[in-house]
Structure 1
Amino acid sequence: MTHTEPVLLKEPRGGVPDVIDTPTQFYDMVDRFAQADGPIAADAERASGYRYGQQDWLVQFKRTGAGIALVDPVALAQQGVSWGPFNDAVGDATWIIHDSLQDLPGFVDIGMTPRALFDTELAARLLGCQRFGLAACTEKYLGITLAKEHSAADWSHRPLTRDLRDYAALDVEVLIELRQRMLEQIKAQGKEEWARQEFTYLLAKGTAPREEQPDPWRHTSYISKLSHDRRGLAIVRELWEERDRQARELDIAPSLLLQDSAIIKAAIAKPRNSRQFASIRVLNERVRMHVGGERDKMFERYAPLQRKVKPSIWKQAILRALALPASQLPTASREGQESDDVGKAPRSLKYWRIHHPDRYELLEKSRARLNQIAQDTGTTADVLLRPQIVRNLCWQAGEGVALDTTELVVDFLERQGARQWQAELLGGALAAKVRQAVLK
């Protein structure tokens, strides 16, 4: 059997389109898409490594008969353009998106209302693919590899170069054909209903109102180094919140003002005077990104904004944290301990193994059974069932909750957020493992 090398697609077959950024161009696009038919290939580009937030700076579409459209949603919003006419033009058409949870929230923020979804990344996982990036999928199902060289570009900068427009257009160029091939395989494997339920779930989740994370500063990289240092955690919180205020005001990525590693270094050192503060160089120097090539020039565009934030701002934030009374210090991280949420299992397997060996054994056997079912069905294990749900099941079963019949487990899985196909496929197998553990 000979191996055929994938064909490199360097640019869209219909050429590289210009960016649509005026009302006239927008309504012309709407007319084209209204007169065409079939699903809509969609994608978006952000500038999260450069600008504050997750705003879409470019959105891309393709529909058979309408071609590719590259749209500047920021420019259109500034001119009062509404996405209502586009929503009406595409109606109930299926939107084809790769990794839809990355793009759907931004689409909703802009004003788009997708009504049906086909997620090519999720489809690849349902089909058991071990590599499910867009390029890997096009290689496997279409024999095409995409020229992808600008994924970390500053998409907020205008005008967009031809290379960037080419890159953006390629993201939607073959999604329609890719969906067709994947759909054929999904039907051949008898997973059409699985896919329908999954896409319905993703669409609802991706278009739901965003939930604010409590204590977002706790997601600072390397914060586990301070898990039992409440004063250090106070410094992390104060620096994170000050950085966020400055970044929001200047519309710049927080990491370009102060990197997480610098926050942690300050929290460990706890500088109390000017000499100690000056000794921590990362707090006194402008953040410089050196990743090579054109991206270095992109980062340097933000140097004037970076210079507006003086080191004294970080010093004052640290001093505020050091002056807090003990009663106002944040609590230590509880990672690895039992969750405050009733019934929610801890994530740390070390904690399970040391403190709850019986539950750990049940968890290991349940995971092994899931992996076998994943292999038998040609599906990746985490698509069969979210790992946290498996942990919750085994945790509660270990507490004596009745979960030893198929009906009880199916009900539990669905209440935990599993889709019907998952609960029905796995309920019996997981109930059997619980019964074995109870009878042991």
Structure 2
Amino acid sequence: MTDEDAPLRRRTRHRTPTGEVAPDGTSNGAGPRLLTEPADGTPAPVDTPAGLAEVVARFAAGTGPVAVDAERASGFRYSQRAYLVQLRRKGAGTALIDPVPLPDLSALDEVLADTEWVLHAASQDLPCLSEVGLRPRRLFDTELAARLADFERVGLAALTEQLLGRTLEKHHSAADWSTRPLPHDWLTYAALDVELLVELRDALDVELARQGKSEWAAEEFAALVAGGARPPRQRTDPWRRTSGMHRVRGARAQARVRSLWYARDAIAVRRDTAPGRVLPDAAIVAAAEMNPKTERELLLLPGFGGRSVRRLAATWLEALEDARSLPDDALPTTPQFDGPPPPHRWADKDPEAAARLARCKEVVTRTAEEHHLPPENLITPDFVRRLAWEPPVEPDAATVTEVLRGFGARPWQCGLLAGELAQALLVPPPAAETDEEAEETPGDGS
């Protein structure tokens, strides 16, 4: 790839008000245009079966790709369900659908079955869309496309500014979308999220083709579709993901984390409230470390000062007592991981594997730079670790490809990496002895 073929973000580009790039790389002084209202106005949310039927008919008659987005209430609700679904299609306009009274959108899914869906950061929205019956068969992910094209800023507003000369406000991205009724300015924000998606898709498609990465993107998008069709994997011991867990030492203290975590989770599920709003992770860790036995001791700890947390003091003390009363054989044990140990332990456990991993990382870094890709999009880092920890008996391009494909790597990734990774897995030959070193080598005395 020549400098002329380098990704757009590597150049200094300014846009004119029409979105055109000035031939000399400069602009006429006008910055990106901020969109504050959808072109067709802000639609009212659809919340009745009759309204949904009208949307289905409109989108069935539309043409071209459909832009899709969803809003959740992460940080407010326990559920990761969608609280608003936004769609836009040429000839159909924009629709905002309230999936709370309309939890089954499969009729809309049916009329869009043969349509390409355009999403931004699709992996975040596919699970909640699937819950309401919306499952794409083909998609284009504008965030992932931008990563493959090596854009430095891949947020929606940043990309529309760079490629379309227009930008979006993101004031309500972290709002509580379970709020009813939804404020008008929130609905405007939601409609604008799909206003430019198809146009952005077209611009990124051109850039991917220019860089010779269209097939790579197609494989990535197909993998997203396949992954979205699978049910989410249930985590083993989810309590181990408590923030600050690394500070908790000893099985008994870990049992306190586990007991408090499940007590909190039961309350969060019952209230449909984000667990951190019931009891912060920091409070769980503090209680696990200090092991308070009285309400006074408990409420003096960090994270237990809030009124709602204090009201549940008896619940937290009971959870701590449950952990104290456990027999030793019921305490948490060291988890058995399906895979290699953390890389920082490799040098002690298996120095040869550590050396293999270092060589493999060099291959990935070099190849990513050559093709203007973020290394993590060239190959999932865990795949490289697994390969280096347990390589094929006879590493070559074919056997490495087989292993990587088994992990989930795409054909384009294997094509770029398999041969060089196979070489990196081989034990390097000893360095050739220089003439100078040979002269310094003691003779045999003959």
The answer to whether the superposition gives a TM-score over 0.5 is yes
Is the contact made by 2:357 and 2:384 (CA closer than 8 Å) also made in structure 1? yes
Residue in 2 that maps onto 1:248: 269
Q: 1:210: how far off?
A: 1.6
Q: What's the secondary structure of 1:63's corresponding residue? A: strand
- What is the CA–CA distance in structure 1 between the aligned matches of 2:150 and 2:111, rounded to whole Å? 35
Secondary structure of the corresponding residue to residue 398 of structure 2: helix
Tell me whether 1:73 sits opposite 2:99 in the alignment.
yes
1:88, CA displacement in angstroms?
A: 2.2
Counterpart Cα distance in 1 of 2:348 and 2:166: 49
Q: What residue identity is the alignment partner of 1:181?
A: A
**Among 151, 154, 179, which residue is 2:201 paired with?**
179
Q: Name 1:361's counterpart in structure 2.
A: 355
Give the superposition deviation at 1:390.
Answer: 0.7
Partner of 2:428, secondary structure, is helix
Check the 8 A contact 1:33/1:66 in 2, yes or no: yes
**Larger helix share, 1 or 2:** 1
| Letter of the structure 1 residue corresponding to residue 51 of structure 2 | Q
Structure 1 partner of 2:214: 192
Structure 2 residue 376 is the aligned partner of structure 1 residue 382:
yes
Which one-letter code corresponds to 1:317 in the other structure? A
Aligned counterpart, 2:385: 391
Corresponding residue number in structure 2 for 1:10: 36
2:135 partner amino acid: T
- Residue from 255, 262, 267 that aligns with 1:234: 255
Asked if the contact 2:259–2:323 (Cα under 8 Å) also holds between the matched residues in 1, the reply is: yes
Counterpart contact for 2:126–2:135, Cα < 8 Å: no
Superimposed CA distance per residue, residues 261-281 of structure 1 (whole angstroms, 9 cap, x where no aligned partner) = 000000000012344234336
Structure 1 Cα separation of the partners of residues 398 and 60 of structure 2: 47
Instruction: Assess, with a 3 A threshold, how the Cα gap between structure 1 residues 394 and 281 changes in structure 2: closer, same or farther.
Output: closer
Give the distance between the partners of 2:222 and 2:384, measured in 1 at CA. 22
- Identity of paired residues, percent? 41
Residue correspondence of structure 1 range 103-182 to structure 2 within 5 A: 103-182=125-204
* 1:63 aligned to which of 66, 74, 89: 89
The counterpart of 1:433, out of the listed 424, 430, 435, is 424
Query: How far has the Cα of 1:355 moved from its partner?
Result: 3.5
**What is the deviation of 1:436?**
5.0
Match in the other structure for 1:202 = 224
Q: 1:170 to 1:391 in 2, by over 3 A?
A: same
Post-superposition offset of 1:352? 2.0
- CA offsets, 1:178-221, max 9 Å, x none? 11011111112222211111111011112211211111111100
Counterpart secondary structure, 2:85: strand
SS in 2 for 1:19: coil
Superposed displacement of residue 25, structure 1: 1.1
CA RMSD of aligned residues (A): 1.8
The one-letter code of the counterpart of 2:56 is V
What is the identity, as a one-letter code, of the residue corresponding to 1:408?
T
| CA apart distance, 1:50 | 1.1
Instruction: Decide which moves more: 16-25 or 349-358.
Output: 349-358
Could you tell me which residue of structure 2 aligns to residue 345 of structure 1? Answer: 340
Deviation at 1:137, TM superposition (A): 1.7
Residue 406 (structure 1) shift: 1.2
Alpha-carbon offset, residue 246 of structure 1: 0.7
Checking the alignment, whether the CA contact within 8 Å between 2:251 and 2:333 is kept in structure 1 is: yes
Matches of 2:295 and 2:196, distance apart in 1: 58
Structure 1 counterpart of 2:106: 84
Q: 1:69 to 1:439 in 2, by over 3 A?
A: farther
Task: Return the TM-score normalized by structure 2.
Answer: 0.87
CA apart distance, 1:106: 0.7
Report whether the alignment pairs 1:417 with 2:408.
yes
Larger Rg: 2
- Correspondence 1:94 to 2:88: no
* Distance in 2 separating the partners of 1:247 and 1:28: 37
The reply on whether 1:39 has 2:39 as its aligned counterpart is no
- Which residue type is aligned with residue 178 of structure 1? L
Aligned counterparts of 2:125 and 2:394: Cα–Cα separation in 1: 37
By how many angstroms is 1:439 displaced? 6.5
Name the CA distance, whole Å, in 1 between partners of 2:78 and 2:340: 34
Residue segments in structure 1 that go unaligned for 5+ positions in a row: 288-305
Contact 2:77 2:272 (C-alpha < 8 Å) held by counterparts: yes
Contact persistence 1:21–1:76 (CA under 8 A): yes
Contact 2:135 2:228 in 1 (8 A): no
CA distance, structure 2, for counterparts of residue 215 and residue 145 of structure 1: 42
Task: Name 2:7's counterpart in structure 1.
Answer: none
